[in-house]
Structure 1
Amino acid sequence: MGTVAEERKARPGRRWRRWLWGLPCALLAFSVVQVAVLRFVDPPFSSVMALRQAEAWGQGDWRFRIRHQWCGLERMADSVPISLVAAEDQRFPLHNGFDLQAIEQALDHNARGKRLRGGSTISQQVAKNLFLWQGRSWLRKGLEAWYTVLIEALWPKRRILEMYANVAEFGDGIYGVQAAAQAFWNKDAARLSADESARLAAVLPSPRRYSATAPGPFVRRRADWIQRQARQLGGPGYALGGQ
């Protein structure tokens, strides 16, 4: 048996071990609760919005304000969700958050030296935009994968698509289809035409570079392609997979 003095010396080591085990477990539990709550609660902003606002203020742009207004899927034109799926993730109703087929195609495309293409799904983009930050790092990718698993496990596809339509950036500081519809066409998302919905989806690769209201050749061609893809996928009903 050890002496009392020896036991006291060993206690700090045990405390550190408890912390090393306890902190990751607490963070994991927090993330599960966080995602579970947001299945039912509409977030007023996302982490990317908060960071974008902080970035502007950090650069001395005190007039900059994020434009965002939550809009339920039932208050959007039917052309909105199918345009987003056609543009960003055509297998959205079919996969469980990770589209291995799209990842293989992206790797093959990039290996041939063509313009870099990503293989992330709408679920992964929701995880990144809602909970994390922009950029490239193994830490962020790992957290993105974890949140994607949670989102797919705890949310129905309808909620995932609704969240994406509300946190995606469609212009500089303009997040969500309702804010975009108001800013670009002075109308509600429910009144967007199929062409306008397609143009919003068309700028998603780079919303601060491309314009939905003054589309150049790239956005025009991409919007036309999105509308064709939406029809080939089966129209608005496909986006929600019958939900």
Structure 2
Amino acid sequence: MASTTLNWRGHAWRLLALLLLSALALQLYFVLRIALMVVVDPQSTPFQRSEIWRLATEQGRVLWSQEWRNRDRISPHLQRAVIASEDAGFNEHSGVEWDALEKAWARNQRAETVAARRKVEPKVVGGSTISQQLAKNLFLSGERTAARKGQEFLITFMLEGLLSKPRILEIYLNNVEWGEGVFGAQAAAQHYFHVEAHQLAPAQAARLAVMLPAPKRFEQRPGSPYLVHRAASVHARMGAVPLP
């Protein structure tokens, strides 16, 4: 009996050690991938690949548009507009805005309570920074679990520790979704305004920045009153945003 107990404990410790080694290996993989991004532009993300598969299976075709543009070939108006709209503290924080996350959590709790009473799906509000969004876009799935959120924080701190703010913004602007099969600033500029990314005017940049939380929805409703008013607000603020 004692021998059986010892064997069970030995197996448990070996399993725990294996799990810890696997977790460490995964983190090392993320670190190496991010370190490589200092000099190598990432060509695709898990989310983009999942979208390719979805479009292929649902529509039987792949409408895809993405062209990498270095930061100096992306309109500074768009860079300022995205920071003003998505992450006003981008230049100062270390990857996570804890106050914004706390406020978003409180709003979501209230939304879930209201939705439960009305028996509808709650409208989830995010509090993610540009660095957190990039962490999700580059490496993670869209599931909402505590483990995935914890991994998001770790990758976010890796991004902030290994890459400069300008590089984080450059990678983000080249990979973020701007519509059905539309990824990155260059594709968005051509799709919506038929210009190059570096030619975007302030008002056009503000409009694109406001689309980011729900690009597919706003692509279908380009004249949405919310989109128009929110873009005007971002346009008014973006001139005061310093570039990283």
Residue of structure 2 equivalent to 1:93: 91
Residue of structure 2 equivalent to 1:51: 50
Letter of the aligned partner of 1:191 in structure 2?
Answer: Q
Rounded Cα–Cα distance in structure 2 between residues aligned with 1:109 and 1:228: 26
Residue of structure 2 equivalent to 1:195: 203
Q: Give 1:21 shift.
A: 3.6
Deviation per CA, 1:185-231, whole angstroms, max 9, x where unpaired? 22110101111111101111210000399332111011101111213
Any conservation in 2 of the 1:92–1:239 contact (CA below 8 Å)? no
Rounded Cα–Cα distance in structure 1 between residues aligned with 2:223 and 2:95: 31
Q: Give 1:102 shift.
A: 1.6
Q: Give 1:148 shift.
A: 0.3
* 1:131 partnered with 2:130: no
SS at match of 2:219: coil
* 1:218 partnered with 2:217: no
Deviation per CA, 1:106-125, whole angstroms, max 9, x where unpaired? 24444555964221100000
Letter of the aligned partner of 1:39 in structure 2?
Answer: V
Which runs of 4 or more aligned residues in structure 1 lie more than 6 Å from their structure 2 counterparts after TM superposition?
10-15
Residue of structure 2 equivalent to 1:5: none
Residue of structure 2 equivalent to 1:40: 39
- The equivalences for 1:19-168 within 5 A come to 19-59=18-58, 61-110=59-108, 113=111, 116-168=124-176
Any conservation in 2 of the 1:49–1:66 contact (CA below 8 Å)? no
Letter of the aligned partner of 1:100 in structure 2?
Answer: W
Q: Give 1:104 shift.
A: 3.1
Q: Give 1:140 shift.
A: 1.9
Deviation per CA, 1:24-76, whole angstroms, max 9, x where unpaired? 222121111011101221111111101111122233x2312331111111001
Q: Normalization by structure 1: what TM-score?
A: 0.84
Rounded Cα–Cα distance in structure 2 between residues aligned with 1:11 and 1:136: 34
Any conservation in 2 of the 1:79–1:194 contact (CA below 8 Å)? yes
Equivalent of residue 182 in structure 2, options 174, 177, 184: 174
Letter of the aligned partner of 1:68 in structure 2?
Answer: Q
Closer, same or farther: CA 18–110 of 1 in aligned 2, 3 Å: closer
Letter of the aligned partner of 1:33 in structure 2?
Answer: L
Any conservation in 2 of the 1:196–1:212 contact (CA below 8 Å)? no
Rounded Cα–Cα distance in structure 1 between residues aligned with 2:198 and 2:183: 16
SS at match of 2:218: coil
Rounded Cα–Cα distance in structure 1 between residues aligned with 2:11 and 2:107: 53
Q: Give 1:12 shift.
A: 7.8
Rounded Cα–Cα distance in structure 2 between residues aligned with 1:228 and 1:149: 31
Residue of structure 1 equivalent to 2:217: 209
Any conservation in 2 of the 1:79–1:193 contact (CA below 8 Å)? yes
Rounded Cα–Cα distance in structure 1 between residues aligned with 2:110 and 2:56: 41
Rounded Cα–Cα distance in structure 2 between residues aligned with 1:205 and 1:229: 18
Range with bigger deviation, 86-95 or 212-221: 212-221
Q: Percent identity among equivalent residues?
A: 33
Residue of structure 1 equivalent to 2:118: none
Aligned length: 228
Unaligned runs of 5+ in 2: 1-8, 115-122
Name whichever structure is richer in helix by fraction.
2
SS at match of 1:92: coil
Letter of the aligned partner of 1:44 in structure 2?
Answer: Q
